[in-house]
């Protein structure tokens, strides 16, 4: 048997995702019309002998309850949300729930960061891991040398694929091969985490003897059960024939900002074209609306036949799109109204927002820039004939004059 664990983090980690994380936890933010974590879960579903999927985080349980029960039913695989009382670090939180995770004595445990977007080649990773042996295999990818420093950089043996060296977000360049945040482990991972924790406990006890104050400062920075997978486990185990790498040649991105969520929504829409084309709206189907490229339209949305949408557009529940509207590369969230002849491009339109007639809401489409796309928070009103370019607009604002490159608080 195999189980999968998805690290969903918690609210303190979501600040860069504002204003989209005020009411919806980031893991449930829709990409290509499906909650972010849905893409991980449906990838897990392709693993043979998958017994259960756990989401571990410190978000409120009620925020996940509905999603977890509906996806369990839909995919016919048990999905459970396990809530930590506080963050324990990426490895510490896995260890914290070891008894629940090991209940059915799985032979392998997949571990996936929630804030990554890729094709999740999980069955291939498992197969490779069985050949390599050792404690675990991690998904890696080559990126540009300039961007590598935002991730864990690593060196792998070109023939055996063994992880030889690992440094988390180094200041000086190590390698353009980086950690994708997707792993498969044997249950031995729990012993490795326990060792780090016990070692820390011993050191803390030593300090207690020498100075009470030192203990206090040590536990303030790192409680002994706070263990990071990258620095505390991967770095020390590199070069010990314990860890191996599996390189993906497919797409991979990390999602820390709303801009990246727009980019990843497009990547998943494109993937649907190959994996589940029935989810996409098509130009020749029952809809008379002109559809260009990869587009998702929720069945409850009402799109006027004279509107033109796509490529890379995702339209959520109960959205109304008026006559002559043009939508390009955008995410339109639940209950939005877009009135006649408005244009929305390179933007995210928040829940219950309203865009007036002949208005333009757009961004340059530079995903890495703070103002590279336009983001409207929940309940924003853009009045008729107003132009909004490269702006971040917080919830419940009304815009009646044009704005450019501003954050509207």
- Site residues (vs ligand GDD, CB under 6 A): 7-9, 13, 56-58, 84, 87-90, 93, 113-116, 151-152, 168, 178-181, 230, 254
Residue 168 CA: distances (Å) to CA of 5, 155, 231, 241, 404: 22, 12, 6, 19, 37
**Which residues partner with 313 through β-bridges?**
295, 330
138 vs 342, which CB is nearer to ligand GDD?
A: 138
Residue (of 214, 188, 192) closest to 203 by Cα position = 214
**258 phi/psi in degrees, rounded to 5:** -60, -35
180 vs 269, which CB is nearer to ligand GDD?
A: 180
Q: Tell me the HSE value of 225 on the side-chain side, using a 13 A CA sphere.
A: 11
> In whole angstroms, how close is the CB of 80 to ligand GDD at the nearest point?
13
Alpha helices in 78-121 (DSSP H): 92-96, 98-101
> In whole angstroms, how close is the CB of 15 to ligand GDD at the nearest point?
12
93 vs 197, which CB is nearer to ligand GDD?
A: 93
> In whole angstroms, how close is the CB of 238 to ligand GDD at the nearest point?
12
169 vs 302, which CB is nearer to ligand GDD?
A: 169
114 vs 126, which CB is nearer to ligand GDD?
A: 114
**262 phi/psi in degrees, rounded to 5:** -65, -45
> In whole angstroms, how close is the CB of 172 to ligand GDD at the nearest point?
16
41 vs 386, which CB is nearer to ligand GDD?
A: 41
> In whole angstroms, how close is the CB of 305 to ligand GDD at the nearest point?
42
Residue 176 CA: distances (Å) to CA of 207, 230, 367: 39, 17, 21
CB 77 within 8 A of CB 53: yes
**111 phi/psi in degrees, rounded to 5:** -130, 125
> In whole angstroms, how close is the CB of 144 to ligand GDD at the nearest point?
14
Residues 6+ away with beta carbon under 8 Å from 119: 43, 248, 250, 251, 271
SS3 380: coil
> In whole angstroms, how close is the CB of 154 to ligand GDD at the nearest point?
8
> In whole angstroms, how close is the CB of 338 to ligand GDD at the nearest point?
32
> In whole angstroms, how close is the CB of 138 to ligand GDD at the nearest point?
9
186 vs 254, which CB is nearer to ligand GDD?
A: 254
182 vs 291, which CB is nearer to ligand GDD?
A: 182
**Which residues partner with 6 through β-bridges?**
55, 112
SS3 141: strand
167 vs 359, which CB is nearer to ligand GDD?
A: 167
Separation between Cα atoms, residue 193 and residue 286, nearest integer Å: 54
58 vs 190, which CB is nearer to ligand GDD?
A: 58
Q: What tokens appear for 30 in the block? A: 């829709």
CB 224 within 8 A of CB 201: yes
Count of CB atoms situated within 10 Å of the CB of 214: 14
CB 346 within 8 A of CB 366: no
> In whole angstroms, how close is the CB of 55 to ligand GDD at the nearest point?
8
What single-letter DSSP state applies at residue 277? G
For residue 380, count CB atoms less than 10 angstroms from its CB and return exposed for 0-12, middle for 13-18, buried for 19 or more: buried
């Amino acid at each position: 048997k195999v189980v999968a664990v998805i690290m969903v983090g918690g609210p303190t980690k979501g600040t860069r995702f504002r204003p989209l994380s005020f009411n919806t936890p980031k893991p449930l933010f829709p990409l290509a019309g499906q909650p972010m974590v849905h893409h991980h879960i449906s990838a897990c579903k392709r693993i043979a002998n998958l017994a259960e999927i756990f989401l571990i985080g410190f978000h409120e349980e009620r925020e996940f309850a509905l999603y977890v029960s509906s996806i369990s039913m839909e995919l016919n695989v048990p999905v459970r949300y396990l809530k930590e009382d506080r963050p324990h670090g990426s490895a510490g939180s896995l260890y914290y729930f070891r008894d629940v995770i090991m209940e059915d004595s799985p032979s392998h445990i997949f571990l996936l960061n929630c804030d990554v977007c890729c094709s999740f080649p999980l069955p291939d990773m498992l197969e490779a891991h069985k050949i390599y042996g050792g404690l675990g295999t991690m998904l890696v990818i080559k990126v540009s040398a300039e961007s590598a420093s935002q991730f864990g950089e690593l060196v792998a043996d070109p023939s055996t694929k063994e992880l030889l060296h690992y440094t988390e977000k180094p200041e000086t360049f190590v390698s353009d091969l980086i950690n994708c945040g997707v792993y498969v482990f044997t249950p031995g991972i729990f012993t490795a985490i326990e060792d780090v924790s016990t070692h820390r406990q011993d050191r803390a006890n030593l300090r207690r003897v020498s100075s009470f104050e030192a203990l206090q400062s040590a536990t303030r920075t790192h409680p002994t059960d706070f263990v990071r997978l990258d620095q505390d486990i991967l770095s020390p185990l590199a070069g010990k024939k314990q860890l191996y790498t599996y390189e993906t040649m497919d797409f991979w991105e990390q999602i820390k900002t709303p801009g990246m969520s727009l980019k990843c929504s497009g990547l998943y829409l494109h993937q649907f074209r190959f994996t589940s084309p029935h989810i996409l709206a098509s130009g020749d189907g029952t809809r008379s609306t002109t559809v260009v490229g990869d587009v998702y339209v929720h069945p409850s949305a009402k799109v006027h036949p004279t509107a033109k949408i796509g490529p890379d557009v995702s339209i959520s529940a109960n959205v109304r799109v008026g006559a002559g509207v043009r939508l390009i590369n955008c995410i339109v969230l639940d209950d939005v109204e877009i009135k006649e002849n408005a244009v929305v491009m390179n933007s995210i339109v928040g829940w219950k927002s309203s865009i007036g007639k002949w208005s333009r809401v757009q961004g340059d489409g530079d995903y890495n820039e703070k103002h590279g796309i336009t983001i409207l928070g929940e309940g924003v009103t853009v009045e008729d004939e107003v132009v909004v370019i490269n702006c971040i607009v917080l919830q419940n604002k009304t815009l009646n004059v044009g704005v450019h490159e501003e954050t509207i608080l």
